[in-house]
Structure 1
Amino acid sequence: MKIRRALIALVVLVPSVVTAPASAETFLPVDPGASGAYKVDVRDYHLGDRVVDIPAFKIKSELTGRAYTPVGAPGRRPLVLFLHGIHVPCYAKGMDPDELMEWPCPKGSKPIPSYAGYDAPAKALASQGYQVVSISANAINLADFDTQMTGSLARAQLVLAHLKLWQRWSTHGDGPFGRQYVGKVDLQRIGLMGHSRGGEGVARAVQLNADLGEPFGIRAVLLLAPGGFLRPNLPGVALSVILPYCDGDVSDLSGQRYYDDTWYSMTRDPAARSTVLLMGANHNFFNTEWTPGRSVADSDDDWTADDKAEPCGKKSKQRLTAVEQEAAGRAYMAGFFRLELGRETALLPLLDGSNARARSAGRAVVSVMAQSPRRYDVARLDGASGVLTGSARTRVCASDCVRNPYGRYPHWVTDPPVEHLPAGRVTELSWTASDGRLRFDLPVGLRDVRQYDVLSLRAATEKATDLSVRLTDGHGRSASVPVSTVSKALQPLPGKLADLLPKVMLQTVRIPLAGLPVDLRDVRSVEIRTDRVARGTAYLADLSFSTPSLSHWRPRMLPVLSVADVDMVEGDSGPRTADFKVRMSRVSPRPVTFWAEASGDFTSDVVAPFHARVTIPAGHRSATVKVPLRPNKRDGDDVTFIMVLSGSTDAMIGRSLADGIVRDDDPTPAITISPGVGTEGRGGVVFQLKLSAPSDRGANLTAELRSGTAKLGTDFVDPEGGLYPQVDAGKTTGQFVVPIKDDKLREKAETFAVVITAADGAVLKVPYRVQGTIRDND
């Protein structure tokens, strides 16, 4: 095996030494994507198209899946469940696409088997002794095309429905498999993989499972190119997020927020987490049923740019083929579950940030950022810290680090309904000379770091730069390591596509401690130095000593937060609030915090914008989130909105969404309509409207014209677009005009009628007739 070796430059008070950096290219001794010893039995099950209740959408979904079973594997096997993302539900040649948006599929069409697209990772895992099941979510996908709020909960409910199914099959036997799985499946060793919107679905399944008292032992979650509207975080659960650099669907790579939002969300978190940035990969090709030439239905390459000079262009040599991407996905998906469920420690270097290669991943270029549960945080760098000297300057920033935090900046993307949760806070270090220093002194009692393997941090830049990291011990000896010798974190990622590339993402810098000529029993300080480049800027986070480690999942580790709905009357005046009760499953010995944000398309100013960090003190079990209201005496619509909980610390969030309804209690104003008068040649007949009181929703009428002595079409005409008189919100008066024709006949004044057939926002007995008069001008 040929290994490229880089040099770590050392500035020391003893002779220099040379060590092999952690970033040197090495191959894992175990190939996570390779087939194992067991033959794999593959069988589909289909229990009906509308058989399981999905309360989030008030629909019934299919119970369809594909089971991958290791033949002859002894004892209870860990269960890994895969969930695909959103896709149209049906396909048929020659049918209009709109006709296919039904469930069950219309006659002449078939369901798209998205669940069947993960054969490669599923078979790899099953051959190693894992029970794998991939499930279908077509009914939910159809319902989810018009919402981003409740789709993840619906998918979570479907995931738990399948887990309950497998619980029954593994205890009593039933259904299409009889007693085949009795005693064969371990429901306390479960891993979940979710692709695209399936990612948020399985993340919410962890929360829903916690809210139900953890009937299932969900220990590991892998999110594949995930979406994440509601910002769920997953403390205490092993987590890996695979982000394809050329994702043309979730093109902002906002799935990075799962890592960032779970970052430091639990005191002494026993879970490892990682982000895998997979260069040259797109969104779809992890699933063969979403891949052209491999799918039964039409499919496409979601990255549309084809410029071969760009790293993601379809003609670029840096793009992975569909087969290459599938192989890389198989290696990292199988590797994650084998590591966290199978406890194969030989696979730690795959996901600990050292970027050891899996042979079956082929030529895929991967960058892994990682957080080990076994670590000593020197400085999180998400707040002011350290001692500055020389030309170095720092500021703590998040989305305000850059002007436009979208597209190119995954750490700082914000989307409704959670738009204000602070996330991705980093230290921006800038310097104008080589004398800049940012020093962190280690306190007494925390200077012995012999139990750790590496000193690491995360770093990113927009322009190529370099820094060095220096350790100094109690004897005054120092070792200085240039970042460029151990990591490419301070080299920009590739691409020059406006608003999309290059991405600016924190990457791991790992400095092995073995061989450094300092006394690891007595490290006094760690310095970040600007002695490599005279001028530059870099983003920094997570300075820590660590040792790669497996997660240590325990049931019911954390209390579970849940929020209740609010349904209330507006009132007329005074300070009022919509009070959302948030309760925990049990008291906590330490304070619990969470982010609360009200979101909705408010049609009036009754509900004030609201977002806040809320704390439940240690020993307490509940909190009240008070959303300010601005009650008034004006008639208006009922205001509906949602309360979202996210960003918890030292608690798991269970029910994260609550509905808020503020019911208007003000009387609907009456409307009067004055007879209209107009003169030929002067535009039309004008009718005046008057409300008895201003209204927040205004008044909207529907009217029809009737001939009298004046004839419709001869003397007057319908307005273009119809006749819909209205009084604007907040106003008490309005008018509408009926166009009239100017003939050359001398005649008496003529009349017609306007008939009001419906009135919304105003009291009026309908049908209501009002007369219009046309005066002659000849």
Structure 2
Amino acid sequence: MKRHNRTKVSARLLGLSAAVLCAAATAFTYTAATGAAAPDEPTGRSAEPSSASTRTVRYDLGNEAWHLPQTGEPVELTGVVHYPAHLGTGRHPLIVMLHGWHETCADRKAAAARAAAESSGDDAAYKAASAKLFAWPCAKGTPALPSEHGYDYLGRRLAAEGFVVVSVGANGINASSVSGDDNAAARADLINQHLRMWQELSSKDEGELAGKFADPATGAARRVRFAHHVDMGDVGIMGHSRAGAGATWQAADSHRKQWPKGVDVKAVAAVAPAYNVMTENMADYAITKTPFAVLRGTCDGQVGREAFSFAADAAKGNRGGFYRFAIHGANHNYFNTQWSPRSRQVAASDDATPAEGHPGQCTDHEGAAPAKQLTEPQQRHVATTYVGTFFRRHLLGDTGRNQVLTGVRHPDAALTDVDVTTAAP
């Protein structure tokens, strides 16, 4: 096996090499808005595929309901589900979303202790506090940090356009000992575990999820007839941060045999993906059959531009379509509401680097050109535009927004610039 080479810029951030981008790809900057098209009824889609009215339920099979194949460490099987209020008579594509690495327990005392230890340089106290913040399961009386709810804004929007969307928890993986490629593989395994449960529910109205849905606010049981209304042959996967690597691993050509029987992944999106750039086997990430999109902000303080170059390497020869979106002024954490300051959640932060001499503007650790920093709502609005357009194109067959994916039109030009590189099928 050959190590995946990069030009080293710092201990954590590696530079983008234009040479790895597909030769046929062309870059554009958007300039105008675009319209939408309805999905085709003959494909078996619901008679009511889009609705402004959506509903939300949650399932929780327990904090130790599953165990990592690599180490046996416990992982929760939880998910928050957004879906059209009227499921109609047909089937809806399923989108599974997964969060990346972040604190697992909302322990405010531990967070304060860690901050104090960092300020004073007390390494022992810092490690002790961090252990509480990254425990799994969390200590009695300490709530789990619900990172899976961080994409509710996106889930609701996608549900309004006709998708069933489930965002799943991965706190157990974040607290585990797995790292590097093993971490990506573990997240892929977790995605497949949820897909297996949804396949059984959809086809037979049986399995672990049957009768397990509840109101996310009150906990009251909710009966939702998802059976025969979810199209497991038309699945999209979205992963953020380290889950971006997990989503890429899950959709890779070499891992398709691990998909549950009856499941077909038709599109994968990696949002600010944190890849293992020292991987020795790129075949574990190579995607040539499935449409693949990658997004990153120019003010990302955690993931460097290797997110683009690694994804481009993984997408070499992709016949389904490869799309790259660089969002000016976007950071890493604002894609997840639970990681963002306005939530007032434990460990929430703005990771963008202020641009010296440019008030209100930001950059990244690699010295990207200063850009006006997007607010939390603005960044999520732009992310929703591109993630939603990508999934509509490749799960619903909506070609009405192709000019967004190819960079001819820019619906959010009033907010920011988005650099687009695309190698369309």
User: C-alpha distance in 2, partners of 1:202/1:277?
Assistant: 19
Secondary structure at the aligned position of 1:202 is classed as: helix
Using the TM superposition, give the Cα deviation of residue 258 of structure 1 relative to its aligned residue in structure 2, in angstroms.
Answer: 1.3
Using the TM superposition, give the Cα deviation of residue 158 of structure 1 relative to its aligned residue in structure 2, in angstroms.
Answer: 0.5
TM-score by length of 1: 0.42
Residue type of the alignment partner of 2:98: L
Aligned to 1:338: 392
1:212 equivalent to 2:258? Answer yes
Aligned to 1:91: 106
Aligned to 2:86: 72
Whether the 8 Å CA contact 1:228–1:255 is kept in 2: the answer is no
Aligned to 2:195: 163
Residue type of the alignment partner of 2:152: D
User: C-alpha distance in 1, partners of 2:234/2:144?
Assistant: 31
Whether the 8 Å CA contact 1:57–1:154 is kept in 2: the answer is no
Whether the 8 Å CA contact 1:259–1:274 is kept in 2: the answer is no
- Per-residue CA distance 1:14-73 (angstroms, 9 max, x = gap): xxxxxxxx86722212399xx952411111111100111320232231001100011113
Q: Where does 1:647-726 land on structure 2 (aligned, <5 Å)?
A: none
Using the TM superposition, give the Cα deviation of residue 77 of structure 1 relative to its aligned residue in structure 2, in angstroms.
Answer: 0.5
Using the TM superposition, give the Cα deviation of residue 151 of structure 1 relative to its aligned residue in structure 2, in angstroms.
Answer: 0.5
Larger Rg: 1
Residue 362 to residue 49, structure 1, CA distance change in 2 (3 Å): farther
Using the TM superposition, give the Cα deviation of residue 263 of structure 1 relative to its aligned residue in structure 2, in angstroms.
Answer: 2.0
Aligned to 1:277: 326
User: C-alpha distance in 1, partners of 2:37/2:362?
Assistant: 27
Residue 263 to residue 76, structure 1, CA distance change in 2 (3 Å): same
Residue type of the alignment partner of 1:63: L
User: C-alpha distance in 1, partners of 2:212/2:74?
Assistant: 20
Whether the 8 Å CA contact 1:243–1:256 is kept in 2: the answer is no
Residue 284 to residue 156, structure 1, CA distance change in 2 (3 Å): same
Q: Determine which of 34, 54, 65 is the counterpart of 1:28.
A: 34
User: C-alpha distance in 2, partners of 1:222/1:150?
Assistant: 20
Residue 308 to residue 325, structure 1, CA distance change in 2 (3 Å): farther
Aligned to 1:323: 377
Residue 317 to residue 160, structure 1, CA distance change in 2 (3 Å): closer
Q: Determine which of 249, 269, 285 is the counterpart of 1:222.
A: 269
Residue 295 to residue 184, structure 1, CA distance change in 2 (3 Å): farther
Aligned to 2:343: 294
Whether the 8 Å CA contact 1:38–1:129 is kept in 2: the answer is no
User: C-alpha distance in 2, partners of 1:31/1:251?
Assistant: 35
1:202 equivalent to 2:247? Answer yes
Q: Determine which of 61, 81, 84 is the counterpart of 1:47.
A: 61
User: C-alpha distance in 2, partners of 1:136/1:31?
Assistant: 32
Q: Where does 1:223-622 land on structure 2 (aligned, <5 Å)?
A: 223-229=270-276, 230=279, 231=282, 232-264=285-317, 269=319, 271-309=320-358, 311-312=361-362, 318-354=372-408, 356-359=409-412, 362-373=414-425
- Per-residue CA distance 1:411-462 (angstroms, 9 max, x = gap): xxxxxxxxxxxxxxxxxxxxxxxxxxxxxxxxxxxxxxxxxxxxxxxxxxxx
Using the TM superposition, give the Cα deviation of residue 223 of structure 1 relative to its aligned residue in structure 2, in angstroms.
Answer: 0.5
Secondary structure at the aligned position of 2:197 is classed as: helix
Secondary structure at the aligned position of 1:370 is classed as: strand
Residue type of the alignment partner of 1:26: A
Aligned to 1:772: none
Q: Determine which of 54, 78, 81 is the counterpart of 2:96.
A: 81
Aligned to 2:220: none
Whether the 8 Å CA contact 1:100–1:109 is kept in 2: the answer is no
Aligned to 1:152: 184
Aligned to 1:58: 72
Q: Determine which of 236, 240, 245 is the counterpart of 1:191.
A: 236
Secondary structure at the aligned position of 1:242 is classed as: strand
Whether the 8 Å CA contact 1:244–1:278 is kept in 2: the answer is yes
Q: Number of paired residues?
A: 343
User: C-alpha distance in 2, partners of 1:328/1:213?
Assistant: 31
Q: Determine which of 175, 178, 184 is the counterpart of 2:211.
A: 175
Whether the 8 Å CA contact 2:149–2:167 is kept in 1: the answer is yes
User: C-alpha distance in 2, partners of 1:308/1:37?
Assistant: 46
User: C-alpha distance in 2, partners of 1:151/1:317?
Assistant: 33
Aligned-pair identity (%): 29
Residue 295 to residue 183, structure 1, CA distance change in 2 (3 Å): farther
User: C-alpha distance in 1, partners of 2:160/2:384?
Assistant: 13
User: C-alpha distance in 2, partners of 1:179/1:363?
Assistant: 38
Instruction: Give the number of the structure whose residues are more often helix, by fraction.
Output: 2
Whether the 8 Å CA contact 2:296–2:327 is kept in 1: the answer is yes
User: C-alpha distance in 2, partners of 1:64/1:306?
Assistant: 39
Secondary structure at the aligned position of 1:259 is classed as: helix
User: C-alpha distance in 1, partners of 2:155/2:378?
Assistant: 16
Secondary structure at the aligned position of 1:276 is classed as: strand
Instruction: Give the number of the structure whose residues are more often strand, by fraction.
Output: 1
Using the TM superposition, give the Cα deviation of residue 343 of structure 1 relative to its aligned residue in structure 2, in angstroms.
Answer: 1.1
Residue type of the alignment partner of 1:191: G
Moved more, 333-342 or 98-107: 98-107
Q: Determine which of 134, 159, 163 is the counterpart of 1:130.
A: 163
* Structure 1 gap segments, 5+ residues each: 1-21, 374-778
TM-score by length of 2: 0.75
Aligned to 1:442: none
* Structure 2 gap segments, 5+ residues each: 1-27, 39-48, 111-128, 214-222, 365-369
- Per-residue CA distance 1:579-623 (angstroms, 9 max, x = gap): xxxxxxxxxxxxxxxxxxxxxxxxxxxxxxxxxxxxxxxxxxxxx
Using the TM superposition, give the Cα deviation of residue 104 of structure 1 relative to its aligned residue in structure 2, in angstroms.
Answer: 0.5
Secondary structure at the aligned position of 2:167 is classed as: strand
Using the TM superposition, give the Cα deviation of residue 83 of structure 1 relative to its aligned residue in structure 2, in angstroms.
Answer: 0.5
Whether the 8 Å CA contact 2:202–2:230 is kept in 1: the answer is yes
Q: Determine which of 136, 139, 142 is the counterpart of 1:103.
A: 136
Residue 24 to residue 307, structure 1, CA distance change in 2 (3 Å): closer
